[in-house]
C-alpha cells in the first residue's frame, strides 16, 4: 500500500495597506511578514519527502511556494485549479453589508450568488489534489492555494455541505491542511500552523 501526502498550503500574509478585497486581482504580493512565513514553512517541511510543488497562478501563492520548492530542488508548477475563487466584490474596500448596491449579490449564500459556485470550486480543487497525489505517489506534494478553495475541498472530502459560515474556517494564513492517502483512499486530514509564532496581530 502506497502512502502519499498532499499538503494544502494557504499562502502567507499579503501586502494590502488599503484593505482591498483582492480576490483574483493581479499584483498582490506577500508582505514582509508573508515572506517570513514562507521561509518558516519551508523550514518546517525541510525533512519531509516533498517531490512535487504546485501553486495557484496568483503572485502571493507563487511567492509562498518559492523557498519550499528551492529547498527540495523541484520546479514549482502552476495549476489553474488552485486559483482563488472569483467574486463580484473584487476591488472593493467598503464592507459589503454597508453598501446597498452590493446587497443583490447576497441573495443566495448557498450557491453563493456573489461568485464562483461552491460545487465548481470543489470540483477543480479535488482534480488538482488528485493530480498532485498521482504525481507524488508514495511521497509528498505541496499545493499552494487560498483559504476558500482549501476549506471547500476539505468539506467536500469530509462529505459536509459546502455552504458555511466564513468565520468558522480552519485555514489560517500560512497554514497546512495535510491530506494523507493510502493508495487512492483518504485516511487522515491533519491541520497545522507551522508559522503561527509569526502570525499577524
pLDDT computed for residue 190 by the predictor: 98
CATH number at residue 83: 3.40.50.1240
Number of domains in the chain: 1
Region class of 141: left (phi > 0), else alpha (psi between -120 and 50), else beta = beta
Three-state SS sequence of 82-133:
HCCCCECCCCCCCCHHHCHHHHHHHCCCCCCCCECCHHHHHHHHHHHHHHHH
State yes or no: pLDDT of 201 exceeds 60.
no
- DSSP β-bridge partners for residue 10: 145
Span 18-61, pLDDT tens digits:
999 999 999 999 999 999 999 999 999 999 999 999 999 999 99
CA 12 – CA 38 distance, rounded (Å): 6
Pairing assessment for the beta strands 185-192 and 176-182 based on DSSP bridges: antiparallel
pLDDT computed for residue 166 by the predictor: 85
State yes or no: pLDDT of 167 exceeds 80.
yes
Using alpha carbons, select from 151, 155, 156 the residue that is nearest to residue 169. Answer: 151
State yes or no: pLDDT of 99 exceeds 80.
no
Q: For residues 85-106, give the mean pLDDT.
A: 78
**Which domain range does residue 133 map to?**
3-198
Q: Evaluate whether 160 touches 148 at the Cβ level (below 8 Å).
A: no
Q: Could you tell me the pTM of the whole model? A: 0.94
Amino acid at each position: 500500500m502506497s502512502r502519499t501526502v498532499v499538503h494544502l498550503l494557504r499562502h502567507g500574509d499579503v501586502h494590502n495597506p488599503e484593505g482591498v478585497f483582492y480576490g483574483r486581482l493581479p499584483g498582490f504580493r506577500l508582505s514582509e511578514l508573508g515572506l517570513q512565513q514562507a521561509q518558516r514553512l519551508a523550514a518546517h517541511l525541510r525533512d519531509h519527502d516533498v517531490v512535487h510543488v504546485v501553486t495557484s497562478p496568483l503572485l502571493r501563492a507563487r511567492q509562498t511556494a518559492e523557498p519550499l520548492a528551492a529547498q527540495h530542488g523541484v520546479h514549482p508548477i502552476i495549476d489553474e485549479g488552485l486559483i482563488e475563487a472569483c467574486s463580484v466584490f473584487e476591488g472593493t474596500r467598503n464592507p459589503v453589508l454597508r453598501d446597498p448596491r452590493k446587497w443583490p449579490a447576497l441573495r443566495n449564500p448557498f450557491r453563493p450568488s456573489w461568485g464562483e459556485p461552491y460545487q465548481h470550486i470543489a470540483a477543480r480543487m479535488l482534480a488538482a489534489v488528485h493530480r498532485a497525489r498521482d504525481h507524488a505517489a508514495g511521497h509528498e506534494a505541496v499545493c499552494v492555494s487560498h483559504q476558500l478553495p482549501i476549506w471547500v475541498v476539505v468539506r467536500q472530502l469530509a462529505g459536509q455541505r459546502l455552504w458555511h459560515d466564513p468565520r468558522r474556517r480552519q485555514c489560517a494564513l500560512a497554514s497546512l491542511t495535510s491530506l494523507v492517502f493510502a493508495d487512492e483512499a483518504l485516511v487522515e486530514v491533519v491541520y497545522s500552523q507551522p508559522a503561527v509564532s509569526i502570525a499577524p496581530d
